[in-house]
């Protein structure tokens, strides 16, 4: 399955490094070429000799060859690889990757890599749960890197929890799947809306909502990884995104989102509206900060334009339009109504009644409804995987 693929494996100092010779063996057996780069600490857990024997290539740790002083070029390795995978990824290396701290060959190679990057964290459960590690993981995901989630189980410390590196067979599986689906959206333009909108009351106050933008950003990354050219129209969020296939347009209000999204709509074969757009906006926006002594007793609200409904009216036969519905009551019935009224091909329903789904969490539990009356229910998953499910479902419509 991986014949001719060039895989760069970065090994860091974690006990799970002992599993990497098996991972290298699996890649080689599938026909891949494997180049190993390992940190000095990783050499305490697994020997370079084992890895170079299995990969049939020299293994590098230092920028210069220890014997003859020649350069082990991180730039050449970064250019060579079709995919880089950091496994196990220790907390220290995650932090260096997130901050660009290029103090070893592995991190300089990572910074030079032009290919997709996968990372498989492995550490003790409290280290993995720590907010600093969580923030680093989140940042790396926002760069478009693929997180291979650690598994829950017994750890080397004797404690039990999330932190065990995913098994080599499953890492191989994730990489194989990636190459299989990789380019199937190439040549397609995809428009995605994400995040909340803020409706100004005055220059310092607004009406907003709790949308974090994570779902829309995960969709943008997944679509870009599958080869699509993505236009991401985003309301104000605390997320960063950088991918050669993604054009980010930042907006603030529902009316700005309307203009930006509709400008890109005609050229988009697939449109997914994941934004939580305000349904109402203040009738008047004060140009000056409203002072206490002129206190507003009420704010008159007027409806915003429904972007999804407007796109539904313009939709041509060769365009696919997908909306989201966040419901608390009569979920399926309400979602079906939206599907029909807004002329959608699919609607993704997430219910606020499901713990772990909806705003501000990095998991979601969805159902996808189509216009023929079919309904697919999915289990609670990280939003990155939910994005993959949604794009798989959309891909079935293209076929
Ligand atoms: N949407 C939109 N423009 C709006 C309001 C909503 O594009 N002004 C889109 C959202 O991005 C989402 C879908 O419509 O894809 C559903 O949004 P939601 O707020 O759940 O539905 P509404 O139609 O606004 O109905 P209600 O708020 O009454 O449930």
Q: Alpha-carbon distance 195 to 235, whole Å?
A: 5
Q: 10 CB less than 6 Å from ligand 1?
A: no
Q: 306 CB less than 6 Å from ligand 1?
A: yes
In the chain, which segments carry CATH 3.40.50.1950? 6-181
Question: Which of 308, 335, 390 maximizes ligand 1 atoms within 8 Å of its Cβ, making it the mutation to test the pocket?
Answer: 308
Q: Is the peptide bond before 88 cis (omega within 30 degrees of 0)?
A: yes
Question: Which of 268, 307, 368 maximizes ligand 1 atoms within 8 Å of its Cβ, making it the mutation to test the pocket?
Answer: 307
C-alpha 325 to ligand 1 mean position (Å):
7
In the chain, which segments carry CATH 3.40.50.10300? 189-398
Q: Span 6-181: which CATH code?
A: 3.40.50.1950
> Among this protein's residues, is 170 annotated catalytic?
no
Q: 385 CB less than 6 Å from ligand 1?
A: no
C-alpha 276 to ligand 1 mean position (Å):
7
Q: Alpha-carbon distance 70 to 391, whole Å?
A: 46
Quick check: pTM over 0.75?
no
Give the CATH class of 189-398: alpha beta
Long-range contacts at 371-380 (CB < 8 A, ≥ 24 apart): 371/339, 371/340, 371/344, 371/345, 371/346, 375/332, 380/354, 380/356
Q: 324 CB less than 6 Å from ligand 1?
A: yes
Q: What is the pLDDT along the chain (399 residues), one digit of tens a residue?
A: 799 899 999 999 999 999 999 999 999 999 999 999 999 999 999 999 999 999 999 999 998 887 888 888 999 999 999 999 999 999 999 999 999 999 999 999 999 998 989 999 999 999 999 999 999 999 998 888 999 999 998 888 888 888 899 999 999 999 998 887 767 898 999 999 999 999 999 999 999 999 999 999 999 999 998 889 999 999 999 999 988 899 999 999 999 999 999 999 999 999 999 999 999 999 999 999 998 887 778 999 999 999 999 999 999 999 999 999 988 889 999 999 999 999 999 999 987 777 777 676 778 899 999 999 999 999 888 888 899 999 999 999 987
């Amino acid at each position: 399955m991986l014949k001719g693929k060039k895989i760069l494996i970065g090994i860091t100092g974690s006990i799970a490094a002992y599993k990497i010779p098996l991972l290298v063996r699996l890649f080689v057996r599938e026909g891949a070429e494997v180049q190993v780069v390992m940190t000095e600490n990783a050499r305490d857990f697994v020997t370079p000799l084992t890895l170079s024997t299995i990969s049939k290539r020299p293994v590098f740790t230092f920028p210069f060859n220890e014997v003859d002083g020649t350069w082990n070029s991180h730039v050449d390795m970064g250019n060579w690889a079709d995919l880089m995978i950091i496994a196990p990824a220790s907390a220290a290396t995650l932090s260096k990757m997130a901050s660009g701290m290029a103090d070893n060959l592995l991190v300089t190679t990572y910074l030079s890599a032009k290919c997709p990057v996968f990372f498989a964290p492995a550490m003790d459960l409290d280290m993995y749960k720590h907010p600093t590690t969580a923030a680093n993981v989140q940042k790396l995901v926002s760069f478009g890197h693929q997180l291979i989630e650690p598994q829950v189980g017994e750890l080397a410390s004797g404690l039990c929890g999330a932190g065990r590196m995913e098994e080599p067979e499953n890492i191989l599986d994730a990489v194989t799947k990636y190459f299989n689906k990789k380019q199937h959206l190439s040549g397609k333009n995809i428009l995605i809306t994400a995040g909340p909108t803020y409706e100004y009351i005055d220059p310092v106050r607004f009406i907003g909502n709790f949308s974090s933008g994570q779902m829309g950003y995960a969709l943008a990354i997944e679509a870009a990884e599958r080869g699509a050219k993505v236009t991401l129209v985003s309301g104000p969020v605390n997320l960063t995104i950088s991918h050669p296939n993604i054009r980010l347009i930042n907006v603030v209000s529902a009316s700005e989102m309307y203009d930006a999204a509709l400008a890109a709509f005609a050229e988009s074969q697939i449109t997914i509206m994941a934004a939580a757009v305000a349904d109402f906006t203040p009738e008047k926006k004060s140009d000056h900060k409203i002072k206490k002594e002129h206190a507003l007793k009420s704010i008159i609200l007027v409806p915003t334009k429904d972007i999804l409904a407007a796109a539904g009216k313009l939709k041509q036969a060769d365009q696919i339009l997908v909306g989201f519905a966040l419901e608390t009551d009569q979920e399926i019935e309400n979602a079906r109504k939206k599907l029909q009224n807004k002329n959608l091909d699919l609607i993704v329903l997430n219910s606020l009644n499901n713990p772990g789904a909806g705003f501000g969490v990095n998991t979601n539990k969805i159902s996808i409804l189509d216009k023929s009356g079919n309904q697919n229910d999915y289990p609670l998953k990280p939003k990155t995987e939910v994005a993959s499910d949604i794009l798989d479902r959309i891909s079935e419509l293209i076929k």
